Chains A and B, each alone.
Chain A
Amino acid sequence: MTASPASLDRVGRLADTIEFSAVDGPGNRFVVFLQGCTLDCLACHNPQTIPLVGGRDVTVGDLVEQIRRAAPFLSGVTISGGEATLQAAFVHDLFAAIGAEESLARLTRFLDTNGDAPRSTWDALDGVLDGAMVDLKALDAATHVRLTGHGNERILDSIRLLHERGKLYEVRLMLAAGANDSDEALQATGAWLAGVDPAMRVKVIGYRAHGVRRAAASLVEPTAEQRQYYAEVLSRVADLDVTVV
């Protein structure tokens, strides 16, 4: 697919930006957090970015200017949220603008996404997207609904599709003790991921209570030993590239 030309005037709903981030993909990255999410995760550590209302308007041109200043220090740009694909046209135009500008074209363009987007969205972004980090809250549909308020069918489809297109950078498993961390759940998840890509990059992220809403009080942070154990269980299932955060 070829990208349609970018509009620098296109307006998006922005929650915030971070000039330098070491935790949102490969290398040092400029991160754009868009406002609004399709899911309603109990464990969300930026719950203020969930509602569609809120945040502030920003144009593609505004962000390009900020990115230009930080560019000498970056490997790339990551758009996160909220859920970035909710504003797919804005994401497209920002990524296209980065690709079109000579001094920025070397930057890789990544999405940090919950994967809850239709195929048409991934088709539209294909020409401007270099990689995606997809969260998978649970493989089991019922658990997923309990943790996020929604099913995970589209998410699993997205993971498969992005992998087929060579755009899947990593899958992130956010694990909370007693909620989605049983051996059976981990084994099933590991087997499913390995079925998509036997060497998949998998990041185990322990649930952190910091910043979450009161409704999440039932969730329990796993200890460092528990997080390490999750990685072991996953690695026993298949030869996945597992890192623990």
Chain B
Amino acid sequence: MSSSELAGQAAAIVSSRTLGYDAKVRRLASVAASLLDYPALSPACAEALEHRVICDMYEGNRPFTPRYVLPDYARALAAGVRHLELDAPRTLEDALSFLTILYAHVPSVTTYPVYVGDLDALLEPFVPADMTDDALDAALRRFWIQLDRMLPDAFVHANVGPGDGRVIRSIWRVERSLRQVVPNLTLKVSESTPDDLIADAVETVFVTAKPHFVNHAMMTADHGEGYAAVSCYNSLKVGGGAHTLVRLNLFEAVRRHDGGLDSFIVDALPAWVELTCELGEARIRALVEGSGFFESNFLAAEGLVDIDRFSAMFGIFGLAECVNELMARQGRPDARYGHDDAANVASYRITEAVAELVGARPLPYCAGGDGRAYLHSQSGIDLDLDATAGTRIPIGDEPDLREHIMTVAPHHRLFPAGISDIMHVDSTVERNPWAMVDVIRGALGVGMRDFTFNVADNEFIRITGYLVRKSDLVGIDEHGSRHSSDYLAATAEQNHSVLPRAIKRITAIELDPLALV
């Protein structure tokens, strides 16, 4: 991009009447970073990136923070934070204040913390036995309002569960009464999670479309006990995170291949996976070796993150179009992913092949993933006009709920870093939350790692995993929005007509500040 073009972009940002002050600062920084050279890539890798067969999620030319950082908040609360001159808190009030301050200093690709902690486990020890539920609700309500107003971004994500407690029950009550976008929420569900805690969560979904549900047993098998779901459904190690997210557009890959399923897997996929990993490696080295984040940031210096608990994320998307194209080449244009056994089997062969290739490709500074990238089903960006998010079944083409679950479930074990399928249910479940408890238990039981559902006609819409309120999107072009993520949703809405089909899953964007100016 020429310097006059960059100046034009900067001028447009500065003079915008809809962007707020914070948004302008962030976007100007992004323009500045784009002046730097991209990390060195082979010609084949650069070409694949230029044609968007592989993508870097527009993280910027020169990363200076890991994409996702998951500080060990339990350790911070126990030991205090020297850099911030914060002693270990002793009361609930002190703990909430401590965390609020710490959040302001946690970096991420969005500039907001994508993980604010396993809040029930963190806060439960600070709740005095004689504190009433009303007093607890009032304290958490103030904290929740602070989160939404100070960190106005739907990728800001809290985790709760798998156990019961006073804090988690209070959080459901506060969520239902405030109806905020922030924080996004995940409930960890294990065998021992009480059914009525899940039912309480389900009733919260009816009001706020939160929480998301994760399979605790699968997650701990892949990451150990110290994991969390952050941003929009990226499961990573606490005290660690993801340096970067690179992704492969399977539809673009198959378009560039002459031949059927077998030859695509044997002849084409290995090269594309290698190019994607090359891109990841270049970005990881630029971050770790170039920016010095892990040498200079206080989170690393004080042991709140450890580079050995980091890896990178390898995302795939456009599986549906890839499979459908390969089936058409076999003379089966009618055989669609989600509706045909042969198409579904093809989809499993493809994700298994990608998982095997990614598992065989060492990457530097990725000890959190045993030296390999974590596979991730990537939900997509607003510019992906003809490729379905991740491994999802295309919007509007989903089969019935059970069929839908059974089609996607076999993919889930392969994606330690998360795979967000969104299930649609009609509003009759609102009179019977226990029906949803059955479905969630069943879905996790048949091997789903991540489970999210949207109820028809809800005020909240889930885009890739992050939430927006329909009412916040009205008129965003004229007056802007308080939540940074709403701009992404508005673009997604324009490109994918999310509002008319509000309950349908859609492809959406994570971050492309320049595209939004």
Q: Which residues of B contact A217 (CB under 8 A)?
A: none
| Cross-chain contact B400 with A28 (CB below 8 angstroms) | no
| Cross-chain contact A23 with B428 (CB below 8 angstroms) | yes
| Cross-chain contact B438 with A75 (CB below 8 angstroms) | yes
Q: With A28-B438, A74-B442 given, is the CB distance from A22 to B402 under 8 Å?
A: no
| Cross-chain contact B428 with A22 (CB below 8 angstroms) | yes
The answer to the question of B51 belonging to the interface, with a C-beta cut-off of 8 Å to chain A, is: no
One of A65-73, A89-97, A134-142, A223-231 contacting the partner: A65-73
| Cross-chain contact A22 with B437 (CB below 8 angstroms) | no
Q: Which residues of B contact A72 (CB under 8 A)?
A: 441-442, 445-446
| Cross-chain contact A27 with B442 (CB below 8 angstroms) | no
The answer to the question of B345 belonging to the interface, with a C-beta cut-off of 8 Å to chain A, is: no
- Cα distance, A69 to B403, chains bound together (Å): 10
| Cross-chain contact A22 with B432 (CB below 8 angstroms) | yes
The answer to the question of A19 belonging to the interface, with a C-beta cut-off of 8 Å to chain B, is: yes
Give a binary string over A212-245; 1 marks a CB under 8 Å from any B CB, 0 the rest: 0000000000000000000000000000000101
A31 to chain B, nearest CB (A): 12
- Cα distance, A75 to B432, chains bound together (Å): 12
| Cross-chain contact B439 with A20 (CB below 8 angstroms) | yes
Residue among B400, B435, B443 with the highest chain A CB neighbour number at 10 A: B435
| Cross-chain contact A28 with B439 (CB below 8 angstroms) | yes
The answer to the question of A26 belonging to the interface, with a C-beta cut-off of 8 Å to chain B, is: yes
| Cross-chain contact A27 with B400 (CB below 8 angstroms) | no
A107 to chain B, nearest CB (A): 11
B444 to chain A, nearest CB (A): 10
Q: With A69-B402, A70-B402, A73-B402 given, is the CB distance from A22 to B445 under 8 Å?
A: no
- Cα distance, A100 to B70, chains bound together (Å): 50
A245 to chain B, nearest CB (A): 7
Q: Which residues of B contact A28 (CB under 8 A)?
A: 434-436, 438-439, 442
Q: Which residues of B contact A74 (CB under 8 A)?
A: 438, 442
The answer to the question of B79 belonging to the interface, with a C-beta cut-off of 8 Å to chain A, is: no
Q: Which residues of A contact B443 (CB under 8 A)?
A: 73
| Cross-chain contact A20 with B431 (CB below 8 angstroms) | no
A71 to chain B, nearest CB (A): 8
The answer to the question of B474 belonging to the interface, with a C-beta cut-off of 8 Å to chain A, is: no
Residues 90-121 of A contacting B (Cβ, < 8 Å): none
- Cα distance, A22 to B433, chains bound together (Å): 8
Smallest CB gap from A70: residue in B: B402
Residues 170-225 of B contacting A (Cβ, < 8 Å): none
Q: Which of B402, B434, B435, B441 contacts A19 (CB 8 A)?
A: B402
Q: Which residues of B contact A70 (CB under 8 A)?
A: 402
| Cross-chain contact A23 with B432 (CB below 8 angstroms) | yes
The answer to the question of B429 belonging to the interface, with a C-beta cut-off of 8 Å to chain A, is: yes
B292 to chain A, nearest CB (A): 50
- Cα distance, A20 to B426, chains bound together (Å): 11
- Cα distance, A23 to B432, chains bound together (Å): 7
- Cα distance, A27 to B402, chains bound together (Å): 15
| Cross-chain contact B434 with A75 (CB below 8 angstroms) | yes
- Cα distance, A20 to B432, chains bound together (Å): 12
| Cross-chain contact A22 with B442 (CB below 8 angstroms) | no
Smallest CB gap from A72: residue in B: B442
Q: With A20-B401, A20-B439 given, is the CB distance from A27 to B432 under 8 Å?
A: yes
Smallest CB gap from B401: residue in A: A20
| Cross-chain contact A27 with B438 (CB below 8 angstroms) | yes
Give a binary string over A74-94; 1 marks a CB under 8 Å from any B CB, 0 the rest: 110000000000000000000
Q: With A27-B434, A28-B435, A73-B402 given, is the CB distance from A22 to B446 under 8 Å?
A: no
Q: Which residues of B contact A29 (CB under 8 A)?
A: 435
Smallest CB gap from A19: residue in B: B402
| Cross-chain contact A73 with B431 (CB below 8 angstroms) | no
Q: Which residues of B contact A26 (CB under 8 A)?
A: 432, 434
- Cα distance, A119 to B401, chains bound together (Å): 39
Smallest CB gap from B433: residue in A: A22
Q: Which residues of A contact B402 (CB under 8 A)?
A: 19-20, 69-70, 73
| Cross-chain contact A22 with B431 (CB below 8 angstroms) | yes
Q: Which residues of A contact B428 (CB under 8 A)?
A: 21-23
Q: Which residues of A contact B400 (CB under 8 A)?
A: 19-20
Q: With A19-B402, A20-B401, A22-B429 given, is the CB distance from A73 to B434 under 8 Å?
A: no
| Cross-chain contact A73 with B432 (CB below 8 angstroms) | no
Residues 374-412 of B contacting A (Cβ, < 8 Å): 400-402, 405
| Cross-chain contact A73 with B442 (CB below 8 angstroms) | yes
A106 to chain B, nearest CB (A): 11
Give a binary string over A7-34; 1 marks a CB under 8 Å from any B CB, 0 the rest: 0000000000001111100111100000
B423 to chain A, nearest CB (A): 11
- Cα distance, A69 to B409, chains bound together (Å): 14
A32 to chain B, nearest CB (A): 16
Q: Which of A27, A69, A245 contacts B431 (CB 8 A)?
A: A245
Q: Which residues of B contact A69 (CB under 8 A)?
A: 402
Q: Which residues of A contact B446 (CB under 8 A)?
A: 72
B152 to chain A, nearest CB (A): 35
Q: Which residues of B contact A23 (CB under 8 A)?
A: 428, 431-432
Using CB atoms and an 8 Å cutoff, list the residues of chain A in contact with chain B: 19-23, 26-29, 69-70, 72-75, 243, 245
In the complex, 30 of the A-B residue pairs with CB atoms within 8 angstroms, ordered by the A residue number, are A20-B400, A20-B401, A21-B428, A22-B428, A22-B432, A22-B435, A26-B432, A26-B434, A27-B434, A27-B435, A27-B437, A27-B438, A28-B435, A28-B439, A28-B442, A29-B435, A69-B402, A72-B441, A72-B442, A72-B446, A73-B438, A73-B439, A73-B441, A73-B442, A74-B438, A74-B442, A75-B434, A75-B435, A75-B438, A243-B431
- Nearest 6 Cβ contacts at the A-B interface: A73-B442, A22-B435, A28-B438, A28-B435, A72-B442, A22-B432
Given contacts A27-B435, A243-B431, 14 further A-B contacts (CB under 8 A): A19-B400, A19-B402, A20-B439, A23-B428, A23-B431, A26-B434, A27-B432, A27-B434, A28-B439, A72-B442, A73-B405, A73-B439, A74-B438, A75-B434
